[in-house]
Amino acid sequence: MKTLFCLTLVGVFAANIASAQFVINSSSGLFDPSFRGAANTTWFGWGSGKFDGLTNNELIDNPAPSFGTTTLGVSFTQSTAFDILSSGNNIYTAGAPATDLLLTIPTSGTPGSGFTTLIIQGKTAFGSYGVAPAFNDIAGVSASYAQGNNLLGVGQFWAKYEIAGNLSSYDLAITLAENSNTSIAELEVDTYWSATGFSTDVTVVPEPTSLALLGLGSFAGLVLKKRSGKV
């Protein structure tokens, strides 16, 4: 009975998270995609305080990536000349007009063939999002998107594009709404090309009922242990 009860709870929780590999609510930071560092991948990003460019003008004017393994072909700018950086050189859009973050994302594939996966992640400096960034289509493809607070109470997002074929680079506009109080203190981009299919990496934010079931499972396990004298 004990084994059956535990397996039932695990089965219910697994059904709720489907095939997810990453759960935002259970994380303490951005995820490392399973393909990172493999052949036909690129990876780059900007950490906290690294969003100002070559000149200290409070604008995103093509700062060099502050981490990752890819620099060639990367471009990062903004569509307006309005200051959207905080005093700590993180993105913060209080009082700002609608602005696009403009990314050129290089890939490492065979142009015109295969399957290209792009994953863009970000998180706030602290707290939830005011208004989340909006991810525009790439080559007519919309992003699958997940957003929530992680274990540290920090807002975190994940956007994934699955694009048939391959180009040597893709242009992406991430729209920050007017007066949105949107914060981004870390931004990370991974790409993966395969001749046979897209990456299966996904992320979710479980519904409250799923989290409650997980908690129920932990509680039930504790009760069973106490009854068996193992606590």
pLDDT tens digit at each of 231 positions of the chain: 433 333 333 333 333 322 337 999 999 999 999 999 999 999 999 999 999 977 778 899 999 999 999 999 999 999 999 999 999 999 999 889 999 999 999 999 999 999 999 999 999 999 998 788 999 999 999 999 999 999 999 999 999 999 999 999 999 999 999 988 899 999 999 999 999 999 999 998 887 544 444 444 444 444 344 344 544
- Which helix H or strand E contains 8, and what residues bound it? helix 2-17
Q: Read off the amino acid at residue 133.
A: P
Show me where the domains of the chain are located.
21-201
Main-chain dihedrals φ then ψ at residue 143, nearest 5 degrees: -85, 145
Main-chain dihedrals φ then ψ at residue 142, nearest 5 degrees: -90, 155
Q: Is the dihedral of CA 172, 121, 134, 191 positive or negative?
A: positive
- Structure confidence by residue, pLDDT tens digits, 134-146: 999 999 999 999 9
CA atoms of 187 and 121, how far apart (whole Å): 6
Pairing state between β 22-23 and 203-204: parallel
CA atoms of 53 and 70, how far apart (whole Å): 17
CB 76 within 8 A of CB 68: no
Kindly report the pTM of this predicted structure.
0.81
Quote the strand ranges of the chain, DSSP E. 22-23, 41-46, 67-68, 75-78, 91-92, 99-106, 115-123, 134-135, 144-149, 155-164, 169-176, 183-184, 186-194, 203-204
